[in-house]
Amino acid sequence: MVFSPITIGNRMKKNLIFICIILAFGSIQAQNSENAGSVNGSFQMDAQFYRPDPSIGITDSTIAGRKIGMNGYGNIIYSLGNFKAGMRYEAYLPPLAGFDPRQEGNGFPYLWASYNSELIDLTVGNFYEQFGNGLIFRSYEEWTLGYDNSMNGLRVVLHPMKGMTLKGIYGSQRFYWQKFERNSRGIVKGVDGEFNLNEAINGWESAPLRITFGGSAVSKFQKDADPIYNLPENVGAFAGRMNLGTGNFNLMTEYAYKINDPSTLNNFIYREGRALLASISYAERGLGIVLQLKRVDNMSFKSDRSITTNALDINFLPPINRTHSYSLTAKYPYATQPNGEMGLQFQVNYKMPKGSLIGGKYGTGIAVNFSQVNDIARKAVNDTTAIGQDGTLGYSSDFFKISDHIFYRDMNIEIDKRFNSKLKGVFQYMNLLYDIATIEGHTGDPAVKANMLVTDLTYRLSGRKAIRAEAQGLWTKQDDGDWAALMVEYTIAPKWFFALADQYNYGNEEKDKRNHYYTVSAGYTQESTRFAITFGRQSEGVVCVGGVCRQVPASSGLTLTISSSF
Amino acid sequence: MKREIMIALKNIVLTIIIVIIFASCDKIEPPYKQSGNTQIETPTRKVLLEDYTGHTCVNCPAAAKKALEIQQLYGDKMIIMTVHAGFFALPTASPFNNDYRTPAGEEWDQFFSLSAVGNPIGMVNRQNTGGVYGIGNGNWGTGVAAIIEDASIIKLEIESSFNETNRKLDVELKSTFLEAASGNYKIVACIVEDSLVSAQRNNDQTIGPATILDYVHRHVLRENINGSWGEDLIAVGQLPSSTSNKQYSVTLNANYKANHTSVVAFVYDALTFEILQVEEKHIY
CA distance A253 to A279: 6
* pLDDT for position A9: 46
Q: From the list B10, B131, B137, which residue is nearest A306 (CB)? A: B137
Could you tell me if B13 lies within 8 Å of chain A, comparing CB atoms? yes
Could you tell me if B113 lies within 8 Å of chain A, comparing CB atoms? yes
Tell if the CB–CB gap between B141 and A226 is shorter than 8 Å: yes
Among chain B residues, the shortest Cα distance to A259 is held by B27
Q: From the list B24, B129, B201, which residue is nearest A236 (CB)? A: B24
* pLDDT for position A182: 82
CA distance A267 to B58: 13
pLDDT at residue A50 greater than cutoff 80: yes
Per-residue pLDDT, averaged over A54-76, amounts to 86
Per-residue pLDDT, averaged over A45-68, amounts to 86
Mean pLDDT over each residue of chain A, to the nearest integer? 90
pLDDT at residue A22 greater than cutoff 60: no
Q: Which of A382-386, A399-403, A462-466, B11-15 has the lowest mean pLDDT?
A: B11-15
Residue A159 C-alpha, separation from nearest chain B C-alpha, in angstroms: 10
Tell if the CB–CB gap between B142 and A181 is shorter than 8 Å: no
Could you tell me if A107 lies within 8 Å of chain B, comparing CB atoms? no
Residue A474 C-alpha, separation from nearest chain B C-alpha, in angstroms: 26
DSSP B239: P
CA distance A223 to A187: 10
Query: A77-116 pLDDT, tens per residue?
Result: 999 999 999 999 999 999 998 888 889 999 999 999 999 9
* pLDDT for position A123: 97
Low-confidence ranges of chain B (pLDDT < 70): 1-24, 35-43, 234-241
Tell if the CB–CB gap between B145 and A227 is shorter than 8 Å: yes
* pLDDT for position A111: 97
Mutant choice from B27, B72, B110, B114 vs A, greatest count of A C-beta within 10 A: B27
Domains along chain B with CATH numbers: 47-282 (2.60.40.10)
Q: How far apart are the first and last CA of chain B?
A: 86
* pLDDT for position B41: 42
pLDDT at residue A339 greater than cutoff 80: yes
For A560, residues 6+ apart whose C-beta sits below 8 A from its C-beta are A45, A46, A47, A48, A49, A531, A532, A533
Q: Three-state SS string across A250-303, please?
A: EEEEEEEEECCCCCCCCCCCCCCEEEEEEEEEEEECCEEEEEEEEEEECCCCEC
- The number of residues in chain A equals 566
Sort out which chain A residues have CB atoms less than 8 A from B66's CB and list them: 228
- DSSP secondary structure string for all residues of A500-552: EEEEE-TT-SSGGG--EEEEEEEEEEETTEEEEEEEEEE--EEEEETTEEEEE
Among chain A residues, the shortest Cα distance to B9 is held by A160
Tell if the CB–CB gap between B113 and A309 is shorter than 8 Å: no
For A230, residues 6+ apart whose C-beta sits below 8 A from its C-beta are A224, B28, B31, B32, B33, B34
- B-contacting residues of A 375-434, CB under 8 Å? 386-392
In terms of Cβ atoms closer than 10 Å to its own Cβ (0-12, 13-18, 19+), residue A503 is: buried
Tell if the CB–CB gap between B206 and A389 is shorter than 8 Å: yes
- A-contacting residues of B 237-256, CB under 8 Å? none
Tell if the CB–CB gap between A219 and B25 is shorter than 8 Å: yes
Tell if the CB–CB gap between B139 and A304 is shorter than 8 Å: yes
Chains A, B: CB contacts under 8 A, how many?
A: 164
Sort out which chain B residues have CB atoms less than 8 A from A162's CB and list them: none
Per-residue pLDDT, averaged over A434-447, amounts to 87
Tell if the CB–CB gap between B142 and A2 is shorter than 8 Å: no
* pLDDT for position A6: 39
Residue A444 C-alpha, separation from nearest chain B C-alpha, in angstroms: 6
Tell if the CB–CB gap between B205 and A444 is shorter than 8 Å: no
Query: A185-235 pLDDT, tens per residue?
Result: 899 999 999 999 999 998 888 899 999 999 999 999 999 988 899 999 999
Q: From the list B16, B32, B141, which residue is nearest A191 (CB)? A: B16
Query: A127-179 pLDDT, tens per residue?
Result: 999 999 999 999 999 998 889 999 999 999 999 999 999 999 999 999 999 88
Tell if the CB–CB gap between A270 and B28 is shorter than 8 Å: yes
Residue A25 C-alpha, separation from nearest chain B C-alpha, in angstroms: 32
Could you tell me if B93 lies within 8 Å of chain A, comparing CB atoms? no
Sort out which chain B residues have CB atoms less than 8 A from A64's CB and list them: 110
CA distance A404 to A375: 7
Tell if the CB–CB gap between B131 and A387 is shorter than 8 Å: no
Tell if the CB–CB gap between B33 and A235 is shorter than 8 Å: no
CA distance B202 to B62: 8
* pLDDT for position A21: 53
pLDDT at residue A59 greater than cutoff 60: yes
What is the band of A373 on the pLDDT scale with cuts at 50, 70, 90?
Answer: very high
- B-contacting residues of A 208-237, CB under 8 Å? 217, 219, 221, 225-236
Sort out which chain A residues have CB atoms less than 8 A from B21's CB and list them: 217, 236, 238
CA distance B241 to A22: 57
Q: Which phi-psi region, left, alpha or beta, contains residue B269 (left: φ > 0; alpha: ψ -120 to 50)?
A: beta
- The number of residues in chain B equals 284
Q: Which of A122-126, A268-272, B244-248, B277-281 has the lowest mean pLDDT?
A: B244-248
CA distance B240 to A322: 68
* pLDDT for position A31: 47
Tell if the CB–CB gap between A267 and B137 is shorter than 8 Å: no
Residue B140 C-alpha, separation from nearest chain A C-alpha, in angstroms: 8
Could you tell me if B176 lies within 8 Å of chain A, comparing CB atoms? no
- B-contacting residues of A 319-378, CB under 8 Å? none
Q: Which of A59-63, A420-424, A547-551, B1-5 has the lowest mean pLDDT?
A: B1-5
Tell if the CB–CB gap between A221 and B9 is shorter than 8 Å: no
CA distance A431 to A318: 22
CA distance A82 to A299: 38
Q: Which of A370-374, A433-437, B75-79, B232-236 has the lowest mean pLDDT?
A: B232-236
